[in-house]
Amino acid sequence: MTFNINWDKRGVYVKFRGIVTAQDLIDANNYVISNANFETIHYQIFDFSNIDDFKITSYDINIIGVMDKSQTTVKEKMKVAVVTDDDYVKDITEEYAQIMSNSDWVTKVFSTNELAKKWVLSK
């Protein structure tokens, strides 16, 4: 497992390390959406700031987007913050945001955890 998950009352923080594969991201996503706390959270922070490689394709992110899109009937509103400085991760995140664009799930990219946390906690 190349990630750790930490929950608080309002959201979840997922920290990735090493080489991130599609299966890693799908596994993390499944852990989050299958957790009993999922229905009560307001945000998710996915931190890719200390990874060695990001092996997620457009095809992979489409699968993950479809998974999340199906969750919008359970959890209508969600802030999804992605922490990265990597241009490829930013591009894939934009593809995810496009998949989620007709929902009330808002996705933004941040360069630091502090900025991401400030955004997810804002009204």
CA quadruple 98, 100, 103, 108: dihedral, nearest 10: -80
C-alpha 63/C-alpha 60 separation (Å) is 5
The predicted model gives 85-105 an average pLDDT of 96
Question: How far apart, in whole angstroms, are the C-alpha atoms of residue 100 and residue 94?
Answer: 10
DSSP 42: -
pLDDT tens digits for 4-27? 999 999 999 999 999 999 999 999
Mind listing the pLDDT tens digit for each residue in 68-81?
999 998 899 999 99
Q: What is the pLDDT of residues 17-69, one digit of tens each?
A: 999 999 999 999 999 999 999 999 999 999 999 999 999 999 999 999 999 99
Is 3-121 CATH 3.50.50.60?
Answer: no
Give the integer Cα–Cα distance in Å for 90 and 41. 24
Distance of CA 79 to the CA centre of its chain: 9
